Amino acid sequence: MGKKTEKVKDEKGITAEKEDDFTDWFTQLMIKAELADYTDVSGCIVFRPASYAIWEKIKEECDIRFKKLGVKNAYFPLFIPEHVLVKEQEHIEGFSPEVAWVTHAGDTKLSERLAVRPTSETIMYESYSKWIRSWRDLPLKLNQWNNVVRWEFKHPVPFLRTREFLWNEGHTVYATKKEAESEKDQIIGIYKEVCEEFLALPSLIGKKSDKEKFAGAEYTISMEFYMPNGKCIQGPDFHHDGQNFAKAYNIKFLNKVGKEEYAYQNTWAITTRMLGVTFAIHSDKKGLILPPRIAVNKVVIVPIFFGDSKEKVLKKAKEVGNSLSELGAIVDEREEYSAGYKFNDWELKGIPLRIEIGPKDLEKDSVVLVRRDNGEKESVKIKDVKKKVEGLLEDIQTSLFKRADKLLRENILRVSSASELKKAIAGKKIAFAPLCRKRGCEDMIKFESVGGKVLNIPEEQPKELGKSKCVICGDKAEYFGYVGKSY
């Protein structure tokens, strides 16, 4: 991420087509809609107010729901001493290539290197091991909203892959495997609700293959999203760790009959990546499109000035603005810009609904409403504005979800052979393919599909599974999985 900012700032509107050059389009959208900016730190962005406010909304909606489950927020150190990080073998193997290391403080060399947390299992579980003594201390359900660093060497993309990102990390501990696993539907349910009801994003939910699961987990449940360029991207996830970390970090408790047992653990997360997914899926060449429920300012009112009617028009615009103050309505009274400039500006920035008020509208006691999502215009009597606006915002919210859902469903193809799989992936589709559990076959998918991988495996399986054959080896299929290219 270098000096692109200057270049794309020269022109006001987005000059690339979403369909033809997604990367250029997405980059221009990020900069021109003032969602993000590049920095001098390679792979790290500024989350500007327009995007950060949406992250605050995601946090708020998730946090309320976590707290209803009895989860409490806490904060653990940013740094993890090397000897603590390396205790769980699979975990450290997964993360060590990406760890940023602090070696000096001022001019002093530290006696032990400190990792900047890539995730906090290791530092949190050191404390858990001290705090948990008896069944009375369980369940322990903690969460933190923080920043993590993974110094990946893949090409960074604003929001979608940044070396520092923001997230929640929930870390819960239970006395029994059954209790721990029952948290899965609660947490995935919360993430699904927030993604669908607020971000207007449908997803494919399922279990990761052993190859793709979280480093240290027994299994991982993921939500996968289909991006407009045909690539998939992993969103929120839930990991059941079994007793894996409990054994590495010595998290034991005395059960009700006085016997010592290892505890069962889960971890789960949603990240700022979801901002990028939301922006990418809904927006268009004019700029950002935001689901109304996450937009801070849901309405903009643009008064149209002609000759001596200016004062009257502005007065009415403010009246309408006041009546919609709960929706964060903005009245754009800037004098230095034309109405046309303002229309483009607010379309670029993604305000869901525009209200135009000119002298002719005033004569008819009406205003013109313009939807950001589909550009539809409608003249409405001023007395009906509030009700109409509320209805339209709901309708935009629903329409965006339906459109994204249609995009996802239309791009899933059931396949039954390696050649069909290859063709589907080459055509930017998600293949739904019968597979066996052999690691060799899963490895072959990347080759056969030219870069695809198993995204996840839905819990509900097609009834044809019994008579289906693995598309790679031809042996009896053991599951149907979603296969696609992925970020």
Q: Where are the alpha helices (DSSP H) in 449-479?
A: none
**By the rule CB under 8 A, 136 interacts with a copy of itself:** yes
- At closest approach, how far in Å is the CB of 69 from a copy of itself? 14
- At closest approach, how far in Å is the CB of 219 from a copy of itself? 27
**One residue of 15, 146, 250, 416 binding a copy of itself per CB under 8 A:** 146
- Identify the three-state secondary structure at position 143: strand
Residues in the chain: 487
Four-residue CA torsion sign, 188, 190, 192, 194: negative
Nearer to a copy of itself, 124 or 280 (CB): 124
Q: What is the DSSP letter of 122?
A: H
**By the rule CB under 8 A, 101 interacts with a copy of itself:** yes
Contact between 167 and 149 under an 8 Å Cβ cutoff? The reply is no
- At closest approach, how far in Å is the CB of 161 from a copy of itself? 15
Nearer to a copy of itself, 149 or 295 (CB): 149
Residues 34-63 that bind a copy of itself (CB under 8 A): 37, 39-41, 44-49, 52-53, 55-56
Window contacting a copy of itself (CB under 8 A); options: 126-134, 193-201, 220-228, 244-252: 126-134
- At closest approach, how far in Å is the CB of 81 from a copy of itself? 5
**One residue of 33, 54, 132, 142 binding a copy of itself per CB under 8 A:** 142
Binding mask 317-336 for a copy of itself (x = CB under 8 A): -------------------x
**One residue of 2, 104, 311, 440 binding a copy of itself per CB under 8 A:** 104
The values of phi and psi at residue 205, to 5°, are: -110, 130
- At closest approach, how far in Å is the CB of 55 from a copy of itself? 8
Nearer to a copy of itself, 54 or 424 (CB): 54
Residues 153-192 that bind a copy of itself (CB under 8 A): 164, 166
Strand partners, 116: 79
Strand partners, 45: 38
The Cα-based distances of 363 to 1, 324, 369, 389 in angstroms read 52, 21, 16, 21
Q: Is the peptide bond before 291 cis (omega within 30 degrees of 0)?
A: no
Tokens of 400: 């965006």
Residues 59-88 that bind a copy of itself (CB under 8 A): 72-81, 83-84
Which residues are CB-neighbours of 419 under 8 A, at least 6 positions away?
Answer: none
Nearer to a copy of itself, 28 or 456 (CB): 28
- H or E segment and range at residue 325: none
Residues 351, 300: Cα–Cα separation, whole Å:
7
**By the rule CB under 8 A, 379 interacts with a copy of itself:** no
CA angle 186, 196, 463 (to 5 degrees): 70
- How many CB atoms sit inside 10 A of residue 478's CB? 16
Sites of contact with a copy of itself (CB under 8 A) = 5, 37, 39-41, 44-49, 52-53, 55-56, 72-81, 83-84, 96-107, 113-114, 116, 123, 126-127, 130-131, 136, 142, 146-147, 149, 151, 164, 166, 336
